[in-house]
Amino acid sequence: MEQELVQRACRGDQRAFQQIVEMYGQLAWRTAYILLPDLGMIDDALQEAWLDVWRGLVTFHPNHALRPWLLAIVAHRCQKVARQRHVPALSLEVAALADFVSGDATEAHALQRERDAELHAALTALSPDQLRIVALHFFADLTLSDIAVVTNLPLGTVKSRLHRALQLLRSRLHPPHPFALEELR
């Protein structure tokens, strides 16, 4: 079905392109959310990225995989927007992860807030590259191959950075006390 949509979109079928946007819209948004610090920048980058995809369909080979090509365009647009607005690299991923992890603090239970704070502290110990890879993998839900495309890194580098990041997180996160939940009941 995807290949047929891509072929139709490559021939200029706007409805097919709209279906592609609907199919990959959430993936593109989650990726941009990790790479950029605010919703306005995300919207700008995604609008430009979807225009780039539409314009680029003329040269896209319909038998190739659309997902990596699309993610590369989204990542490129996010980088361009970040450069234009002089965005610092590290703070965006930490802020994005904190939003994902903590949610609405008024609804969070005290124990959950404590765990969130512990996770946030552990995440800040990661290098910017490790943090970006962890965020893209666990919060944007990208595969390691997708992350390699988005970050323009070899797959082996992505794997090793993720492995090291997870080791560091495991060493910094303490398992919950076995009686903690029982005491709250």
Mean of all residue pLDDT scores within the chain = 81
pLDDT of residue 48: 96
**What is the predicted pLDDT for the residue at 148?**
95
Most confident of 3-7, 43-47, 84-88: 43-47
| 161 in the same domain as 119 | yes
Co-location of 127 and 172 in the same domain = yes
Least confident of 98-107, 129-138, 153-162: 98-107
Instruction: Give the per-residue pLDDT at 105.
Output: 44
Question: Quick one: 169 and 137 in the same domain?
Answer: yes
Domain identity same for 73 and 98? no
Give Cα separations from 160 to 25, 35, 37, 90, 118 (angstroms): 29, 20, 26, 19, 24
Note whether 158 and 110 are same-domain residues: yes
CATH of the domain at 117: 1.10.10.10
In this structure, the answer to whether residues 21 and 68 fall within a common structural domain is yes
Last residue of a domain, one of 31, 51, 84: 84
State which residues form the domain around 101: 90-184
Count of domains observed in the chain: 2
Cβ atoms of 65 and 29 within 8 Å: the answer is: no
- pLDDT band for 113, please (50, 70, 90 cuts): low
